[in-house]
Amino acid sequence: MGLTRSGIDGSGKGSRVVIVAIALALAVPASITLPSFAEAQDYQREKRRGLFDLLFGGALRQREPQKPATRQRSAPRKQQGTQRRRSAAPSAPRQQPPSPEVEKLDNARVVLVVGDFLAGGLAEGLTTAYAESPGVRVINRSNGSSGFVRDDYYDWNGEIAGILDDVSPAVVVMMIGSNDRQQLIVDGKREAPRSEAWVAEYTQRVATFAAAVEDRQIPLVWSGLPSFKSSSMSSDMLAFNDIYKTAVEAIDGSFVDIWDGFVDENGGFVFTGPDMNGQPVRLRGSDGINLTRAGKRKVAFYVEKPLNKLLGEAVSPDIGELGMESLPALVLHPENPAPVNRTMPISLSDPALDGGLELMGAVVKPIERQERIESRERRREAATPPGRADNFSLQTNTSPQNKTSPGPSAQATP
């Protein structure tokens, strides 16, 4: 069966129509926007409406969720000419300015401090203690590495006389012993510390120093030694304190025991402790030997007590040098007084008119006794007579006398 031309043409037109239809079908989805996911959910929700939704209609339809309003950022404002100052960082607390130094009087009483490096710290503490006392001056003549053992390095017994002549102190304060834990040469032999020969020689040297001060008739105040970090060293310091106390009390000096101020309640060494005001502070250095500034001031606090008794009014901050400008004005009587030719007016309220001429100790009559006698006489005069209504005294009853009744009268005889 052959194909004709018309058949071929008819089939070609049909194929063109099919191709055009396919092209249109592909082009339509591209132009139509597909529903979004939210719209699809709304469509499914509409399809799932039940009987309740159909009865009450769209009143119960869920509203579309409102999109959160996006805030538009405002344009940054232009900075003004004057910007705010940033808060400054907290500065360190201001230290109080040092108080002005009090000028010492020319005749101020001198406190001479001698000894080793601990005595130097004591002198610093005493200087602070009497900084506001114009009548007290502290002079430090300590030698840090000195002691009574190494007299070849510094001989205190040989040097003290010259120091006393140079300074002319009112009081001598001594603190020594920290460098004396060494061998002592006795009769050409080296003796161990705290041996019998060592203690005898050391005690003699301490007594010689105390006697040199006593010969000048200068009071001596001896400060004891504190505890140290080393237990063996603390034990030696206790033995030294006993030697110092015995020698000083032999010349009527003052020994100041500071041991309890640098130990705990069990007697052990402490780095920190209460200061002179009771506040906890660091008292000792890291080596367990030296004193801090607070520790030096605490030692001086102990020594102040006997010093104040010896210095008297000189420790007062109000004491000053007596000058001509502080003296009261003198009232001088005239050389040629005017003659007195008339009596000066006398006041009626003059004490002389009120018994002022009587001497002290005059015999005065006993007023109380006189009043008592007069009152007794008044009571006697004012006594109520017996029988009156206001007389409450008891009256004794007297027996009535027997009275004879007259007999019958004689009858008249007729």
- What CATH number labels 109-315? 3.40.50.1110
**Which helix H or strand E contains 174, and what residues bound it?**
strand 171-175
Phi, psi of 348, deg, nearest 5: -70, -20
The residue type of 13 is K
Phi, psi of 377, deg, nearest 5: -65, -35
| CA 382 to chain centroid | 76
Q: Rounded to an integer, what distance in angstroms lies between the CA atom of residue 224 and that of residue 203?
A: 15
**How long a stretch of residues is the chain?**
414
Per-residue pLDDT tens, the chain, 414 aa: give them. 444 444 444 455 556 666 766 766 665 555 555 555 555 555 556 555 555 565 665 544 555 555 555 555 555 555 555 455 554 444 544 555 666 778 899 899 999 999 999 999 999 999 999 999 999 999 999 999 999 999 999 999 999 999 999 999 999 999 999 999 999 999 989 999 999 999 999 999 999 999 999 999 999 999 999 999 999 999 999 999 999 999 999 999 999 999 999 999 999 999 999 999 999 999 999 999 999 999 999 999 999 999 999 999 899 888 765 555 655 666 666 667 667 677 767 666 666 655 555 666 666 666 555 555 555 556 655 667 777 777 777 666 655 555 455 544 444 444
Q: Please name which of 105, 176, 173, 171 lies closest in space to residue 134, comparing C-alpha atoms.
A: 105
Q: What is the pTM of this model?
A: 0.57
**Do residues 262 and 269 make contact, with C-beta atoms less than 8 angstroms apart?**
yes
